[in-house]
A and B are shown apart, each in its own frame.
Chain A
Amino acid sequence: MNPHRRDFVRALLRTFAAQGSWNYRSYTAGGLTYALLPLLRRIHAGDPVRLREALERHMRPFNAHPYLIPLAVGALARVERDREEGERIVRFRTALSSSLGALGDRLVWQAWRPFCLLMAVLGFNLGLGPWAAVVLFLIPYNAGHVALRIWGMRRGWSEGLRVGAVMSGEPVRRLARWLTAVDVVLMGAVAVTLAGRLAGAALPAWTGPAGGAAAALGGAAWPGIAGASAAALVVLAAVAAWIHP
């Protein structure tokens, strides 16, 4: 039986909690199955054996970017509805798992999220109020986030086994590359403006931005050392503040 519109809405809402049971054994399989349940109950209505077999399949280890789980939910529901053979569904699921993880990490964690965060921090550094900066981050970020989930659910259901073509599309990769390049520009701008703000009245005005710029260039050259050094510098700054010589 075809799922109803409300089943898709319920499944979509459940995907927001898909990582709620993330664990080191089955990763996000519990959350994926939890989100699939409203659709599977409709598809296998009146056939508890098929429903149990489907649930058993989807409880196997699975991992994907959380915002692209609706794409997996839509596509997996479609192949269940189309009565694909069980082993084929398992293989399809495995292929989805790795590609959805890589695509989402690249597009969201490495591109969209830093972009929205850095825009907000830059806005604050240049005089935006604190709540305005928070809104500047949360609204655009979540507009993209929710749109991606809705798009994923629709495309997953409409494409089914052909969903791989959607994920390998060049426009998505190009968007991720372009956003990541903008993120690097924003990192530079945020580094000097935040450093200027942190220097405050304690240091001569030019030293904050200059120090921030030098540290950013050095940090990009040796990122591993820079990450640990940044944390160590914060601790040293705190120690200097606490012991106040």
Chain B
Amino acid sequence: MTWSPEPDLGVWLLASLLGGLAGVDASSWPQAMVSRPLVAGTVGGALMGDPASGLLVGALLELLALRHHPFGAARYPDTGPAGIVAGAASAAAGGGVAALAASAAIGWLLGWIGARTVHLQRGLAGHLLADREGLAADPRGLERRQLLSVGLDVLRSSALTAAFLVPAVLAARLVPPAPAPGAAWLAAGGLVLAAGAGAGAGVGALAGVRRRWWLLAGGIAIGLAALTVTP
């Protein structure tokens, strides 16, 4: 296995395994939030030798995902496998602004494809536990089905990562490492506005905050001040 920007067989297998763990973490076990794009993106980037590029795309995906809360039966992007794949794609494509834009779009799309597979998996779990009286009489059977359902979620997430990793890396590598100024300007501008709009939408999704505008403006002022003093 080589730790270079090439998705060789070893990296592909490791990414699939980590994608399985990241995917199952979101809901099934243990919900330690290694499934968040911030973490999964960094891990994906590290697989391709550049964790910082992975984290940057993860941070952008995080801002897009912050308004989607897992309340009740709500659907939300499955950010574990998506973060691994997006982080790996961004790092493998050089981590520039164009690679970042391409991998973020791939990650967001994959997040919603993943959400669809979560929906299917939950339907399957419903069938596994449908016989309430039968399972009440067979506690060991209930335990087996619970663990089977967790195992199916691992397989689902692994398969998703395995299926999309190589196509995503290839797609991200279609962008030039040093795009023409016009393309770079458009890509960077789009990402800047997306980050801001994502954060704003996240604020809108937070309930019960008084003086929201003052708090947001204060945060912006703090951020601007921090930028001026940070090298």
A residues within 8 Å of B by Cβ?
16-17, 19-27, 29-31, 33-34, 37, 41, 51-53, 55-56, 59-60, 63, 66-67, 101, 105-106, 109-110, 113-114, 117, 120-122, 124-127, 129-131, 133-134, 137-138, 141-142, 145, 177, 180-181, 183-200, 202-203, 207-209, 211-224, 226-227, 229-231, 233-238, 240-245
Q: Are B42 and A219 in contact (CB under 8 A)?
A: no
How would residues 55 to 67 of chain B score, 1 for a CB under 8 Å from any chain A CB and 0 otherwise?
1100110111011
Extra 20 A-B pairs, beta carbons < 8 Å, given A227-B197, A231-B64, A241-B179: A19-B29, A20-B149, A21-B128, A25-B130, A131-B42, A134-B42, A137-B33, A145-B31, A186-B219, A188-B221, A188-B222, A192-B196, A192-B220, A194-B60, A196-B227, A219-B201, A220-B201, A223-B200, A233-B197, A237-B190
Q: Are A124 and B59 in contact (CB under 8 A)?
A: yes
- 19 pairs, A vs B, C-beta closer than 8 Å: A16-B31, A26-B132, A53-B136, A105-B71, A134-B38, A184-B219, A185-B215, A188-B203, A188-B217, A195-B196, A199-B189, A200-B97, A211-B193, A215-B193, A216-B197, A220-B212, A235-B108, A241-B97, A241-B179
Contacts of B32 in A (CB 8 A): 138, 141-142, 145
Q: How far is the CA of A212 from the CA of B77 in the complex (A)?
A: 23
Contacts of B128 in A (CB 8 A): 21, 23, 30
Query: Known: A55-B135, A145-B32, A189-B226. Contact between A230 and B63, CB under 8 A?
Result: yes
Which of B126, B183, B189, B223 has the most A CB atoms < 10 Å from its CB? B223
Q: Which residue of the partner chain A has the closest CB to B225?
A: A189
How would residues 180 to 221 of chain B score, 1 for a CB under 8 Å from any chain A CB and 0 otherwise?
111111111111111111111111111111111101111111
Q: How far is the CA of A89 from the CA of B223 in the complex (A)?
A: 51
Summed over the interface, the residue pairs from A and B with CB atoms below 8 Å come to a total of 419
Minimum CB–CB distance from A190 to chain B (whole Å) comes to 6
B84: Cβ under 8 A from any A Cβ? no
Task: Give the contact-size bracket for chain B.
Answer: 35 or more
Query: Known: A109-B71, A121-B38. Contact between A51 and B63, CB under 8 A?
Result: no
Set B101, B123, B205: member contacting A241, Cβ < 8 A: B101
Minimum CB–CB distance from A128 to chain B (whole Å) comes to 10
Q: Which residue of the partner chain A has the closest CB to B191?
A: A198
Q: Are B193 and A51 in contact (CB under 8 A)?
A: no
Q: Are A233 and B191 in contact (CB under 8 A)?
A: yes
Contacts of A188 in B (CB 8 A): 199, 203, 215-223
Q: Are A180 and B187 in contact (CB under 8 A)?
A: no
Q: Are B203 and A187 in contact (CB under 8 A)?
A: yes
Which of B135, B149, B192 has the most A CB atoms < 10 Å from its CB? B192
Set A16, A137, A226: member contacting B201, Cβ < 8 A: A226
